[in-house]
Amino acid sequence: MTIPIPWLERVPTYKEQMEQITDKDLSTLGFLGYPLLQTADVIIYDAHYVPVGEDQVPHLELSREIVRRFHNFYGELFVEPQPLLTTFPRLPGLDNRKMSKSYGNTIDLSDDADTVVKKVKQMYTDPKRVRADVPGTVEGNPVFMYHDAFNPDTAEVDDLKSRYRAGKVGDVEVKTKLAKALNAHLDPMRARRAQLISKPSVLKEILVEGSRKARGIAEETMERVRHAVNLSYR
């Protein structure tokens, strides 16, 4: 009730997806208000830092503005959450747009090895490079951005970059080695996922226990909130 609608309409993700996703009706309260829901999910647990990608940093800036506005009305209650970025804070989607399930341009952690290979083959690369003997651009090239992030063999990556710039390697080799590196990175996750899925009772216990802990923190926060806004009836 305290947040102006224009604050939500200026979120970059909202504006971008309203422009690009034309086959769905996004003019809904749920879509517009999603960053506000995200804020509630963060501040109810007094989170100081939130692990996000670079494209989500504006969402957290909005969260801090929301917190400050609430404080102006009702006093100091919440922590202003800060972003926690990794060494590679942004990776593009397969088509070089923002990575988003809405665009269908993601490599999912649940993908099997064959699916990863298939997706990597479809990845956007240097559009000016029509043949393998044409020198290509490495900088800003999604395939090499993924190599930098996921291929631990830096000598191999440096060699691929050098030959790519000189027009002495084809996209097939570059992408084949990327798929191999990605699958090696995902294999331990797949094994752990398969192990957990085989024990649904353990998963349920984890969810129940996590929910119990989260509920306790949330109840304490909401007690403070109700008191601040004069909605405490105890």
Here the tokens at position 93 are 């989607």
Residue reference for tokens 């060494």: 87
pTM of the model: 0.81
Give DSSP secondary structure letters for 27-53. -SHHHHTHHHHHHHHHHTTT-SEEE--
Instruction: Walk me through the domains of the chain, giving residue ranges and CATH numbers.
Output: 5-90 (3.40.50.620), 101-197 (1.10.240.10)
The pLDDT value recorded for residue 144 is: 97
Contact 56, 88 (CB under 8 A): no
- 10-residue mean pLDDT profile of the chain (234 residues): values are 92 85 86 93 95 91 96 95 93 92 91 97 93 94 97 98 96 97 97 94 96 96 94 75
pLDDT digits over 42-100, tens only? 999 999 999 998 988 999 999 999 999 999 999 999 999 999 999 999 999 999 998 88
Cα separation of 134 and 142, whole Å?
A: 18
